[in-house]
Structure 1
Amino acid sequence: MLAKLDGFLLLLARASINKWRLVPAIERGDLRGAVTVSLRKTLISEYILTILMFIFTAVLTTFTSPPADFGIDEGDDPDVF
């Protein structure tokens, strides 16, 4: 779970770089190669991180899900708690 949280925080950090530095620079008309290349790299890294987070979540829920019977024995009445 901590790895998933770390990935999410890294994704938010990359998004904040876009929002506060790179996009305003482009809006000001700064179209130098370094700014546009940096924006492209951060966007690609955000997409990759998002896909990795989905894969990681799928793996976690596949292998660490609770058992299907939820501890109910065959002799137990499911309506009685």
Structure 2
Amino acid sequence: MPLNYILLIRISLPLPYIDSVAYAVQLDGIRVAAILLPIPKSVLVPDHTGAGQTMVDSGTQFAFLLGATYDALKAKFLRQTKGVPPF
């Protein structure tokens, strides 16, 4: 499997809720099983407070997504796992 690289973004104007010691990337989209989810790119751009940023954090297993992004990912996940018994 080939490696993919992405540039880390540097925010020129510090925003209230951006973690200054975290690494952030700008997502273009999210794919599940090679299918691009129907998420407008504008939803993946941080707003004026920093909400919506994509941070890389190897110290946690949690992912926090804004409403439209979460809904699209959840719907795709539920379709992909239909019929799989819960554990």
Normalised TM-score (structure 2) = 0.30
The structure, 1 or 2, with the larger RCO (C-alpha pairs under 8 Å, 6+ apart) is 1
Bigger helix fraction: 1
Bigger strand fraction: 2
Larger radius of gyration: 1
Normalised TM-score (structure 1) = 0.32
